[in-house]
Every structure is written in C-alpha cells, then in structure tokens.
C-alpha cells in the first residue's frame, strides 16, 4: 500500500540497534548511495536505524522510498518490557510442591 503515510518517529530497542542489517539491505543501500555500509553507519547512524525500522514496519514499501524518507525520521530508543503484557510476571505453581516459583 504505497499511499500509506510514513511516520516521522520510529521506536526501536537496543537489541534492534545492535543487530546488523541483512545482506540484501546492505547491497540495496550500497547501490542507492554508492558507498559502503561502514561509511553509512559512521556518517548517518540515525538514518540507518530509521530506515531499518521503517523497513520492519512497512516491508512491502519500496526500499529507495524508505531510505529517502528515513532522512527526516527521528529514532526513539525504548526499553524492553520484560513482561509480555506489561504487568508483573505470573508465576505458575510447581506441579510437585504447589509453590509458585519464577520461571527459569
């Protein structure tokens, strides 16, 4: 859906920021920019992270349009919520003792 408006802010986690992009992304960016990934990572780190987040959230969009849009996107680094639902962890009682213990 090419008509969908792209955001001006994306949210990522530290783990996302630490991962390397796929080789397909590296090749596409090298072709678009005519430079190496290392140079992009050094000179445009926030744009690179924004691009990857946009590609994650809009996988069917054109790569070049996402890269162009990423120039104007802010990146918000968020903490990972250790619980799936945002509440305290639910501990299941042990089948043997009936005592609730944290999952290992």
Residues 58 and 42 sit within 8 Å (Cβ to Cβ): no
pLDDT of residue 4: 83
Q: Output the CA angle 64-65-71, nearest 5 degrees.
A: 95
Q: Compute the distance between CA of residue 73 and CA of residue 7 in angstroms, rounded to an integer.
A: 7
pLDDT of residue 95: 64
Q: Compute the distance between CA of residue 48 and CA of residue 33 in angstroms, rounded to an integer.
A: 12
Domain extents for the chain? 12-78
Q: From first to last of the 104 residues of the chain, give the pLDDT tens digit.
A: 457 899 999 999 999 999 999 999 999 999 999 999 899 999 999 999 999 999 999 999 999 999 999 999 999 999 887 766 655 556 666 666 666 555 55
Q: Which residues neighbour 1 within 8 Å (Cβ) at sequence distance 6 or greater?
A: 60
Q: How far is CA 85 from CA 43, 78, 81, 91, in A?
A: 37, 16, 8, 14
pLDDT of residue 89: 58
78 beta partners: 13
């Amino acid at each position: 859906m090419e008509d969908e408006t792209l955001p001006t802010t994306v949210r990522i986690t530290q783990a996302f920021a630490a991962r390397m992009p796929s080789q397909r992304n590296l090749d596409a960016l090298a072709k678009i920019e005519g430079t190496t990934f290392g140079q992009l990572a050094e000179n445009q780190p926030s744009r690179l992270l924004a691009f990857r987040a946009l590609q994650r959230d809009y996988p069917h969009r054109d790569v070049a349009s996402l890269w162009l849009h990423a120039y104007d996107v802010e990146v918000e680094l968020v903490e990972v919520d250790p619980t799936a639902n945002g509440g305290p962890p639910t501990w299941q009682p042990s089948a043997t003792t009936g005592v609730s213990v944290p999952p290992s």
